[in-house]
Each structure stands twice: as structure tokens, then as C-alpha cells.
Chain A
Amino acid sequence: MKINKIEIYGFGKWNNVIFDLKQDLQVFYGLNEAGKSTLRQFIYSILFGFAGGRGNHKYLQYVPKKAQGAAGYGGNLVVEYQGKTYQIERIKGKNGGKVNVKNMDDGLEMNPEFLTEMLGPIDQNAYERLLGFNQSDLDDFNDLGNRDDLRRHILRMGAVGSDEWIKLENDLKKEADKLHTASSRKRDLDLKIKQYKEAVDQLQADKAKLPDYQVTKDLEEASQQKLQQVRSEIAKLNTKITETNNLINTWPTYSETLDLKQKLQDIPEAYLNLDLNQLEVLANQIRENQNELRNLQSQLEDLPNEKNNVIDITKLDELQSKLPEVKLNYGQLEDLKHRFNRLNQQLEEIQAQYQVDLGNLKPMPEGQFVKLKDLLLKQKRKNADINQLKTQMLETTGSRSTHTNSNSNVVIGAAAVLVVIDFLIPLNWLFKLILLAIIIGGGYGLTHAKSADNVKPDEESLEDVLKRDETEAEQIKTAIKQIGDKTSFNAFPVEDWVALQSNLLNYQHLVNEMSELKGHLTQVEEQLDTFWKFSDGILPVDEHRKETLQTLFEQVNGMVEQDRKQQSISQQRQLLNKSVAERRAELDKLQIQFKQLNGPEINADFDDWLKQVRSAQHLNLRLNTLLESNQVKFFDQLQQYADLTKLQQLQNEQEQKLAEFKQAEQDILDQRANQLGELTGLKSRVDILAEQQLLSEQETEIKDLVSEWLTLQLGAEWVDQTLGVATKGRLPVILDKANEYFRQITNQRYQKIEFDKDDMINVTDEAGNVFEIGELSKGTMEQLYISIRFAFMQAFADTVRLPIIIDDAFVAFDDVRLRQAFSLLKKIAEQTQVIYFSAKKEVYDLIDDQKIINLNEK
């Protein structure tokens, strides 16, 4: 395919431009930014589609800015293909743009697949690599310092994109080499392997460190056996120590038992089982009964003997009943006598006032006495009046005061009489009171009467009055005399008459009273006589005793008392006798019971005996308790030992021995613990299974690394092989062309390139000298590379029939070589269209101006 015309509607900076291309070599000249790359990309894009919007490709889209290019995105290429002209148009559209292919000759629209047919088995990528050539390709080649690498490079140029493949191959190898090389020691994989090998060794060492099962088992068994021995000794010793301890513990019991037996040996066996409490109770009861009996008997003995009564107790009782009355009688008698004497004394006292026997006188009758008294009163008053008158007549005051005195005397005298009466005459007190009232009233009347007398004087002359009064007084005196004559009172002065009257009345009264008392006395004395006669009939009393009634009284009471006592004693005796009988029966019963208990006699020693046996029984009880304890079983053994110290000594010896064995046990245990600990420590440090697992993981890691490494290696190898195979496959096709180009570019200095079976490359110069590629100069080698490269391009171009696009590939060349290179391009362009982009002005010197399109001008 040849491109005749490029028409751009809009693509990057290009808008509505048309480039007409020369058929063979077309050079586009343009400075940087002139649009060379855009143009080149336009060609690719029309052929292979617009770049996608993703990744780096989007910078290759060159979608025009909206403001520019009304014609829109895209353009067309007019190409010559198989003798016909076609227009390939690509405008905006899906999947790389809308493509129209038109046959320019007949104007027919072609099927879009026609473009694919035209392009053949090639995509943009391949196209760029196959038919593109630029400075970097040369640079890459020149970067290969090693001649052999150059040779290899040449030998791998025969594939699409060999250079990049070779680069990748090298990268892969480098990457692989980072992991591991045939001779490396310190790369990642090597280090891992080293670690792995160390781990394997470690595992082996650890395995070796661990004793095997049998050794461990033997070790354990040996120590177990020793341990068992020691432990059995310890067990035996422990048994012995327990025995000894038991003996020691039993010792107090044992020795107490011996002691008790000693103490009890004299006590009859039978006593030890006696019921002492019962015995004691019985003994006490017996004793109590005995005491009681004795007591009763002594009471009986103490009872007074019974006496026969002389006096009939009933008469005695009668006598006793009369005694109080008698006593009263005696009292009366005394009293009466006393009163009589007193009355008699009073009588005598009254008598004593008078020389005459008052017994011969009789008191005035009452009426006379009252007249007398009245007369006496009148006399008195008259005398008083006379006196007064006389006084008055004497011009002095009379003395009348005597009257008052006499009146008072009357009253007092009456009172005195009354008192005597009262005293001597046992009168009713009411009567006495009346009497007293009469007396007082009398006194009063007297007083009043005297007052009435006093009023009279003054009217008569004193003389007259005196005379009349004296007459009257004489009259009164005569009246009184008369009275005295009628009675025997004349023997006595008138003044004494009133008193005499009273004394006579008293005397008479006393005599009467005394006579009465005498009667009483006689009566009482008679009663007493009667009593005494009765008393003498019962209880003759001494004549003296009769005087004292008290004695009798006491005697009678005593006798009655005695009689009562007598009776009580008798009753007591009966009771006592009955009690004695009862006690005796009780005692007999108790003694039988006591005898049945087999106790000893109850005598003075009994209590001591009881005490002794009781204590013995206590001891025996203790002994039995001790003998019942389970310690008794050790007694037989204890008999071997004289005392406790022997046992303690034995115990010490055994315990010392035990301590030794225990130490031995501990030693074995320690030893075993050490061994086991060592083993366990080893086990814990050495976890074989985990180590194995870790080792396996290391293996996996190494495998993965090896796999990664191998993948890189094989990838590189595969690429290498492919390139080699492709190159070798294509070499025969291009060899003629390569020779031609090599001759051309070296100005015929070299004639021939040869590839031998061993992948060696030789060149022959014009003189027929053969050089190994390694012997060539760097420049010659570059020329060789370009020759072969262009030969391959020519060959591919034949296959794919697309123009060769070269992008300023020779900028580093000097003028001579540049000219040579361009001469080669011209030669190639004879067969295949070459489109050359350059930023160098030199192109104008190398090629016909007409074949240059100056992009700067567009």
C-alpha cells in the first residue's frame, strides 16, 4: 500500500489540510511542535482506528477542539493498493471511529472488512514495531556494550518488535537474577535456601538432641525403681514410727493402768461391784431407824411414872370452880370490914366533938329545924340591923358584914353534910344530886331573904327602930328558947344547934349504915364458912393455909394440872410404844436388805470403809475405762519397755532414719526432675513437629520463589527462543537484501553477511577477508544492524504492504554516514514507500526539495 494523499478534516493541530505524497520517499520537515507526531499518529489512526479514551492512549486521540475545524474529527487517506486507488476515511464513531473505504476508481463503497484485508495480520503495535524506525532503536543497539550481545541482538531482529522483546527478555533475566543466578550466593532465593538448609540441619540437630523413646523410658524406669525402693523403705519406717508413736502415746495410759492395778490389789473383787450408793442409803436408813428407836426408848424412859390420884378429880374440879367466888367473897369481906371501920371512925370523930353520948340524943324533926333555921336567920338579921343602927347611931358605920359570913357558912355546912351523906350513905347518885340542888337553892333563898331585910331602915328614927328591933330580937330569942326546950338542945349553945343537928343526922346515918354492913359481913362470913367446910371435905388444908386462899388456889390448880399431865404421859407412852414397834419392824426389814447386799457390818468403821471402797470403785472405773480403750492392744508390747525414755530414744532413731530416707527420695526426685526438666526444656525448646511444619513452610516459600524465578527465566527463554526462531526463519528471505543494503551503506567496502549454524555472524569485505562480527568496529556493526533491520523492514513491508515510517533516526550520524543512510533509504523507497519525519534542515541537502513538505509552512 502506498499513501498518495493525506486529507485531515480535524486532528490535533491539523484542520482541513491536504498533503499530496510522493510515491517513493516522502520527507516531512518540521521543527519541534510543527505537528510531525500528530501527522504520524493521524496515519496510524486512519489505518488502525482512533486511540481509545483510556490510559495513555487518550493523548493520542487528537480530538480537535470544538471551536476549530468545522469539518470535525478525522480525515482520509487516499492509498494505492493492488493497482487500485482507495480512499480510507475515518471519522468520529464508536470503537476507533467510523470507517469508510471507497474505491476511487469506480466510486464504490467497500465493505469495512476490506481495510482489515488490506492491513493483513498486523495491528498498529506491530506496524510501529515492524515498519517504524527511530533514533531509540539505534540507541538501544548502541547501548549493548558487549559484542556478543550485539551479535545476539542481530540474531533476534527477525520478529515483530524484536528490540522491545529483547529489552523485555533482558529485564526478565535481570529480575530473575535478582532472585538467583547459577553462581549467586546472596540473592533472595539463595538466602532462603541457605536458611532452609540451616533449618534442616537444626531439625536434625534437635532430633539428635532429643533422647529416643527407649532411653527416656529407661531413665524414667531406673529412677522409678529407685524411688519405689526408697519409698517402700519410707513406708516401712513410717509404719514403725507410727507403732512407736502409738506406744509413746499409750504410755500414760499404760502406766496409769499399772498404778491403778497396784492400788486396787487389796480391795476384794466383790467390793468393787457393790452398789455403794444403795448400801449407803440403806446404812443411813438403818442408822436413822436405830437412832430413832433409841430416841423413842429414851423418851419412854424419860416419861414419869404414873401416880394414883387421891382426890376425885371431879370434886377437885368443883372445888376449883368455886375458888373464884371464894376469892371474891374474901374481897367483899375485906371491903366490908374496911367500910365499917371507916364509918366507925367517922362516928367516933363526930362523937369526939361532944361530951355527951350522941347516941342518947335525937335530931330535931325536920319542921322544927326549918323553924329554927329561920329564927336563927331572923335573929341574925335583927342583930345585924341593931348593930348597924347602933353604928349609925354612933355615926359610924355598923358592922353587918358578919351576916354574910354566916350565910356562907350555912351553905358550906350543907355541902359538907351532903358530902358526908354521900360518903356514908350509899344513896342513889340522882338522889344526891337533888339533895345538892336543894341545899344550893336553900342557900340562895337565904341570901335573897337577907337582901330584902336590908331595904327597910331609914324611915323610922333610929331609936325607934332600935327599940323595936331589940324587942323583936327578944321575941326571937324566946322562940328559940322554946324550941330548945322542946328538945334536949338546950344543953348546948344555940349557935351550935345547926351543927349539932347536922352531926346528929350524920351520926344516925352512920349507925344505920354500920348496922347494915354488919349484916353483910355476917352473910359473907357464912358463905366462906360453907366453902371451907366443902373444901376441907375434899382437900384438908392446914389451919394456916386457910388464911391464904391463894395457897389453896395454887394447890388445887396444881393438882388439876398434875392430873392432866398424868393423862398426857400415858397417851405419850402408848404412842411411843407403837412407834418403837414400827421402827423395829422397819429396821429388821432394812437390815435384811442390807445383809442381802453383802456389805460389811454397819459399825463405826463403816463410813471409812465406804469411803475407801468408793474411791476404789472410782479407780476401778477409771481402770476399766482405760482397759476398754483401743490402746490396750499395745500393752503387751509396752511390757518390754521399762520406761518411756527407752521408747523416745527408739522414736528418735527411727525419725532420724526416716529423714535420711526422705532426703534420699528427694534426691532421686530432684535428679529425675532435673532429667525430666532437661527433657521438658528440650522438648519445649525443641518442638520437632512445629519445626517440621516451619521447614515445610520454608519449602513452600522457596518453591514459590523458585517458581517465580523459573517463570521469569522461562519467559526470557521463551522470548529469546521465539526471536531466534523467527529471525532464523526469516533470514534467508532477507539475506540478499541485507547484503545489498550493507554494501550500499558501507560504500561497497563489505560484500557479504553470513550466519552460521552456531549462531555466529561473519562478514566478508571487498578483498574477501572474513571477519567475525566481534572483530568489526562499532560503526560497522551499526551499519550492519541498519542493513539487516531495513532488510527485515523491506521484507515485512512486502508482506504487509505498508509504508515504512522513519522518525529522525540518524541524527547522531556524521555527514558521510547520513548521506550513506539516505542513499540507502532512496534505494529502499524504490520498492517500498518511505515516509521520513525530520526536524533537521539537513534533509534539504540530502534529498530533492520536491520530496520535502515543510510543515512549518502549513
Chain B
Amino acid sequence: MKFIHAADIHLGSPFQGLKNIPANIRKRVVSSTGVAMKNLVQAAIENTVDFVCIAGDLFDNPEPDLETLNLAIDQLEILNAANIPVFLSYGNHDYLNAKIPGVIFPDNVSIFGEKVETKQITLVDGSTVDITGFSYNKRAEINARIEEYPSKNNQADFQIGMLHGSMDGLKSSEAHYAPFTISQLLAKNYDYWALGHIHKRQTLNDMPVIAYAGNTQGRHINEPGPRGISLVTINQQKQTDVQFLRTDVVEWTNVAVQAQKGMDLQQIISAIIQAVEPLAAQQLKLVNINLQNSNVLTPEILDELTSGIVLTQIQKQLDQEVFWVYRISLKVNNNIRIFSELDQAYWEKATANVFNEKKVQEKLGRLMELDFIAETYGNDLELNPLKDQVELMLKQRNALGDERDEN
């Protein structure tokens, strides 16, 4: 039995964290989730798989636009033409609703309903496979639906569970999404668990394999590195081979560059370019430069860095077909002494007064009305980067005026 386990294709998803990108890159970005879907379909055909499982979030939006729907239909139609069945469950992003009517998909697509159900398929070699799953019918699923999954049907040669959700305790905020525990899954005795929802590719258990395939195309810097699908082969002895196949066309990458004291602008630019250039690959690289130790740089250099001049220079010097450095994040490794040593204690004492969620949110005031601001500065706000940023800003402003040339 050979099949593809895919999840979180997120068709129609925009990329986050970019701004003012050139039109050609925007074009690639906008089409990337669709191209990833196409790559998935091609991979299925090239590897002559028995079927394809898509464990939720095929669409980024429960009300996908016409183009996106058409793209999905066309691609599923290609699989249909190749006689490859598709088992599709919807996730929290594309939960069952009238805007994605099941009838629009070709006959090879079996869609799971809101109740856990088992679909059966007989493979060319005569072996039978039971595939169990369900679709979300709303944005969140706080219930642990795992209890509804039946234990393995011994009539079938194989049983696969499809589940869009997160493991209990993985993250508290993820408990809204059909939480489960590994032991719950193991108790079902299935041969493979095709999980979705978590975009980071990971294997939770080896025998049987319980795994997230990860999403098929990274869409922001928190989804860095190669993205793709799992090509799963399970033989009659239940030996399972999982192979990762890339489907992404754009790859988000963090690149760390060490700032050195006394570096001038050109040195920084070439250090960044030297760090980026070796990363050239087939996929367009969207690069975030983490300029470590930026506090050692002079206020003037920091000014150039924050004003975007350096970024523009780098964007010009790198091949835009291969790289797009979209941001240079200034990172601070040590505490920067801003105030006089005499006042350092007060400075540190004041930190807690300033860098706390409440204070920050209070500062933001009505800006918090914006979803994405609320999201960025909402719960679990990481305060240290914020503090680093402020310190760097103060350093940049050379608050203490002249700084003696020491050493």
C-alpha cells in the first residue's frame, strides 16, 4: 500500500510578514500554495500511489474564492483522471460549509462528514484499507473526537486514521482543536495516523507511525524550511516507510549574521550577502536576516539598518529570482547598558513596570482592535525581543550622548 499523506495545503493563503515586495515575487508568492498543490498531485501520479489523504485545511478560508476552488477542482480532477482516490477531511480553516459544496469535486474524492466515519477502499492488489476520519463543521473543535474513532476493523488489511488536531498539552492554545493523546491514538491499533493542523512536520510515534506531514508551503517566517508531504508505504508486515517529498516553491529562511564591532555599512552588506548566497536553491528563498549582536554597531550604522537602506541595497544585489531578503532583524545578545551604572538598578527595576503584557497592550490602546496587532501583542507575548528592540533604539539614539572611546 502506497499513499500520500498531506495536510494543511492552505490554498489561497497569503504570505505574512512581507511588505512592498516586487510584483514578480508577489506573483510567485500568491501562486505558491496552488503550485504546492500541483506538485502534490504530480508526486501522486509519478509515484503511482494507491490514494491520497488530505488531513484538513485544504483551503485557507472556509469561503474560498472562485479561482482557488477552481484550482482545487482541477487538481483533484487530474488525480481523478489518473484513477487515484482522494480522502479529504476538512479542518478548522475550511470546515464543512455551503461555500465548499462537496458536489463540485470529482468522483474520486471522498469527503468525511462531521461525524467520524470509515471509508473503505480495495487496492489493485486486492488488499482492503479502512480510512477513518471526520471533518470540522466549525472553526474550532474543543471536543476530543478521538473517542469516536472505532478500534481497528480486523476485516480490513490496513486502517488509517485521519485527524486534524493537536496533541493534548502540545500548547494550551491548541486545545481548541480536537485534542488527543498518543496513547489514545495507539489504543485504536491503526496502521498509520495521518495528522493535520500542526504545520511543523513531526513524527509523534514510530510503530505505528503517527505523524504530522507539515504544511505543503510555508507562508511566514514561523514556517521556515522545506515543506511538503509524506509518501507512505506500508507492506503486509506493517513495515512502514515514510518519505518526505517537497512540494513548496518558496522557502522561508532565517539567516544569522554576526555583527562585529567597527563594521561599516559595506562590510555588513557583504557579510549578509555572503551568508545568503550559498543558500541558493530551486525554491525562492524568503530570507530574514537576524543580525546578531547589533548593539555593537554605531548609532549611525543602526540608523541605516532601521531606515531600510541596507535592506534595499541587499535586495538589489541579490538575484530576485532566487532570494528575497525581506527583513533585517536586529538582535541583541547582551544587555545594553543604557543608564549610568549608578542608575542601573532603577533601570532594571523599571523594566518589569514597562515590559509586561498589560502595559504593552495598554500602550497599544485602540491599535489592539486590529486582529493582527492583537494577535502579535496578545497572549504569550514575548517581551524580551521587545525589550531588545527598545534598548537598541535607545542605543541608536545614543541617549547618553558621547560615549567615550574605550579600549
Interface residue ranges, A against B (CB under 8 Å): 48-49, 51-52, 54-57, 95-96, 121-126, 129-130, 159-161, 164-165, 168, 171-172, 180, 182, 189, 193, 196, 207, 210-214, 216-217, 683, 688-690, 692-704, 706-707, 710-715, 717-719, 721-726, 729, 796, 799
* Cβ B17 vs Cβ A700 within 8 A: yes
Name B30's contact: one of A689, A702, A714 (CB within 8 Å). Answer: A689
Which of chain B's residues have a CB closer than 8 A to the CB of A719?
Answer: 394, 399
B171 near A: Cβ within 8 Å?
Answer: no
Interface residue? B402 (CB, 8 A): yes
Report whether A683 and B66 are in contact in the complex, using a CB–CB cutoff of 8 Å.
yes
Interface residues of B in 9-26 (CB under 8 A from A): 12-21, 26
A696 partner, pick from B18, B351, B370, beta carbons under 8 A: B18
Q: Is B204 an interface residue (CB 8 A)?
A: no
Residues on B with beta carbons closer than 8 Å to the beta carbon of A212: 66, 99
Residues of B353-391 whose CB lies within 8 A of A:
353-355, 359-360, 363-367, 370, 372-373, 376-377, 386, 389-390
Which residues does chain A contribute within 8 Å of B30, judged by CB atoms? 689-690, 693
Determine the chain A residues whose CB is within 8 A of the CB of B29 once the complex forms. 693
22 contacts between A and B (CB under 8 A): A48-B404, A57-B402, A57-B404, A125-B402, A130-B342, A159-B346, A161-B340, A168-B394, A210-B66, A683-B66, A690-B26, A696-B15, A710-B360, A710-B364, A711-B386, A713-B363, A714-B386, A718-B351, A719-B394, A721-B350, A722-B343, A796-B342
CB distance from B18 to the nearest CB of A (A): 6
A210 CB contacts on chain B under 8 angstroms: 65-66
B401 close to chain A: CB less than 8 A: yes
A442 and B105 alpha carbons, distance in the complex (Å)? 172
* B69 interface hit (Cβ, 8 Å): yes
CA distance in complex: A48, B101 (Å): 78
Complex Cα distance A565/B377, Å? 156
Determine whether B400 belongs to the interface, using a CB cutoff of 8 Å to chain A: yes
Chain B residues with Cβ under 8 A from A165's Cβ?
339, 399
Q: Is A697 a contact of B21 with CB atoms below 8 Å?
A: yes
Roughly how many angstroms separate A438 CA and B90 CA in the complex, as a whole number?
Answer: 178
Distance to closest chain B CB from A51 (angstroms) = 8
Known contacts A707-B389, A721-B350; is-contact A696 B16 (Cβ 8 Å): yes
* Docked CA distance A690–B14 (Å): 8
Q: Are A689 and B372 in contact (CB under 8 A)?
A: no
User: What separation, in Å, do the CA atoms of A702 and B20 have in the docked complex?
Assistant: 12
Any A CB within 8 A of the CB of B335: no
Contact A714 B360 (CB under 8 A): yes
* Any A CB within 8 A of the CB of B139: no
Kindly report which residue of chain B lies nearest to residue A175, judged by CB atoms: B397
Residues of A within 8 Å of B404, CB to CB, are 48-49, 51-52, 57, 96, 123-125
B346-A729 in contact (CB<8A): yes
Which 8 A-B pairs give the minimum distances between C-beta atoms?
Answer: A721-B350, A52-B405, A160-B340, A726-B346, A696-B14, A688-B65, A700-B19, A722-B350
User: Interface of chain B, helix or strand or loop or mixed?
Assistant: helix
Assembly CA distance A326 to B72 (angstroms): 146
A722 to chain B: which residues have CB within 8 Å?
A: 339, 343, 346-347, 349-350
Complex interface: chain A residues within 8 A of B12 (CB)? 688-689, 692
Given contacts A213-B69, A700-B18, A714-B363, 17 further A-B contacts (CB under 8 A): A95-B406, A95-B407, A121-B341, A160-B340, A168-B394, A213-B70, A683-B67, A688-B65, A688-B66, A689-B65, A693-B29, A697-B18, A700-B19, A718-B355, A722-B346, A724-B350, A725-B349
Kindly list chain B residues whose C-beta atoms are within 8 Å of the C-beta of A690: 26, 30
* Those of B200-235 within 8 Å (CB) of chain A: none
Cβ–Cβ < 8 Å partners of B65 in chain A: 207, 210, 688-689
CB < 8 Å neighbour of A706 from B349, B353, B367, B390: B367
Complex alpha-carbon distance, A125 and B364, angstroms: 34
> A residues within 8 A CB of B43?
none
Distance, CA A586 to CA B16, complexed state (A): 117
Query: Which of B104, B353, B365, B370 is in CB contact (< 8 Å) with A213?
Result: B104
- The answer to whether A721 and B67 touch across the interface, beta carbons within 8 angstroms, is no
Q: A692 near B14 (CB under 8 angstroms)?
A: yes
Report B's interface with A, CB cutoff 8 A. 12-21, 26, 29-31, 63, 65-70, 99, 101, 104, 339-343, 346-347, 349-351, 353-355, 359-360, 363-367, 370, 372-373, 376-377, 386, 389-390, 393-394, 397, 399-407
Complex Cα spacing A723 to B338, Å = 12
Give B154 Cβ to nearest chain A Cβ, in Å. Answer: 41
Complex alpha-carbon distance, A49 and B403, angstroms: 13
Contact A125 B15 (CB under 8 A): no
Complex-state Cα separation, A503 to B342, whole angstroms: 217
Contact A714 B350 (CB under 8 A): no
State in angstroms the CA–CA spacing of A122 and B366 once bound together: 42
Give the Cβ gap from A198 to chain B, nearest Cβ, in Å: 13
A56 contacts across to B, CB distance below 8 A? 402
Contact B14 A703 (CB under 8 A): no
With a cutoff of 8 Å between Cβ atoms, the chain A residues found around residue B367 in the complex are: 180, 189, 193, 706
CB pair A714–B346 under 8 Å, yes or no, is no
Residues from chain B with a CB closer than 8 A to the CB of A701 are 19-20
With a CB–CB cut-off of 8 A, which chain A residues contact B372? Answer: 699, 702-703
CB distance from B100 to the nearest CB of A (A): 8
> In the complex the two chains form, is A160's CB within 8 Å of B339's CB?
yes
With contact pairs A54-B405, A95-B407 given, residues A714 and B355 touching in the complex (Cβ less than 8 Å): yes
For the complex formed, measure the closest distance between the CB of B400 and the CB atoms of chain A, giving whole angstroms.
6
Q: B70: which A residues are within 8 A, CB to CB? A: 213
A816 CB to nearest chain B CB (Å): 35
Give the docked Cα–Cα distance between A168 and B399 (Å): 7
A121-B341, A122-B340 as given contacts; A693 in contact with B15, CB under 8 Å: yes
Given contacts A689-B68, A690-B30, A711-B390, whether A126 and B340 have CB atoms under 8 Å apart is: yes
Complex: chain A residue closest to B71, CB-CB = A689
Measured CB to CB, the closest approach of chain B to A62, in angstroms, equals 16
Contact yes or no, B343 A160, CB < 8 A: yes
CA distance A180 to B26 in the complex (A): 29
Tell me, in angstroms, the Cα distance from A57 to B19 when the chains sit together: 41
Closest to B405 in A: A52
Residues of A within 8 A of B68 (CB): 688-689
The docked-state distance in angstroms from the alpha carbon of A688 to that of B12 is: 9
> B353 — which chain A residues lie within 8 A by C-beta?
721, 725
Q: Give bound CA distance, A122 to B370, whole Å.
A: 46
User: Taking the nearest CB of chain A, how far is it from the CB of B64, in angstroms?
Assistant: 8
Complex interface: chain A residues within 8 A of B19 (CB): 697-698, 700-701, 704
Closest B-chain residue to A52, C-beta based? B405
Min distance, Cβ A494 to any Cβ of chain B, angstroms: 176
How far, in angstroms, from A48 to B355 measured CA to CA in the complex?
35
Report the bound CA distance from A129 to B342 in whole Å: 12
Q: Is the CB of A718 within 8 A of B350?
A: yes
Knowing A212-B99, A690-B30, the reply to whether A700 touches B16 (Cβ < 8 A) is yes
* Interface contact B365-A182, CB-CB below 8 Å: yes
How far, in whole Å, are A710 and B385 apart by their CA atoms in the complex? Answer: 12
Q: Could you tell me if A193 and B370 are in contact, using CB atoms closer than 8 angstroms?
A: yes
Closest chain B residue, CB of each to CB of A692: B14
List of B residues within 8 angstroms of A707 by Cβ:
389
* Residues A693 and B339 in contact in the complex (CB < 8 Å), given A168-B397, A706-B364, A718-B350: no
Please, how many angstroms separate the alpha-carbon atoms of A721 and B348 in the complex?
A: 10
A-side contacts of B386, CB under 8 Å: 710-711, 714
What separation, in Å, do the CA atoms of A757 and B313 have in the docked complex? 53
CA–CA, A624 and B208, complex, Å: 85
- For the complex, give the distance between the alpha carbons of A182 and B399 in Å: 26
Q: Which residue of A lies closest to B339 (CB)?
A: A722
B354 contact set on A, CB distance < 8 A:
714, 717-718, 721
| Nearest CB in chain B: distance from A854 CB, A | 31
Given contacts A693-B15, A722-B350, contact A182 B339 (CB under 8 A): no
What is the bound-complex CA distance between A696 and B12, given in angstroms? 12
Task: List B contacts of A55 (CB < 8 A).
Answer: 402
For B365, the chain A residues whose CB sits under 8 A away are 182
Cβ of A210 to closest chain B Cβ, rounded Å: 6
Alpha-carbon gap, A121 to B339, bound state (A): 12
The distance in angstroms between the C-alpha atoms of A121 and B340, with both chains bound, is 8
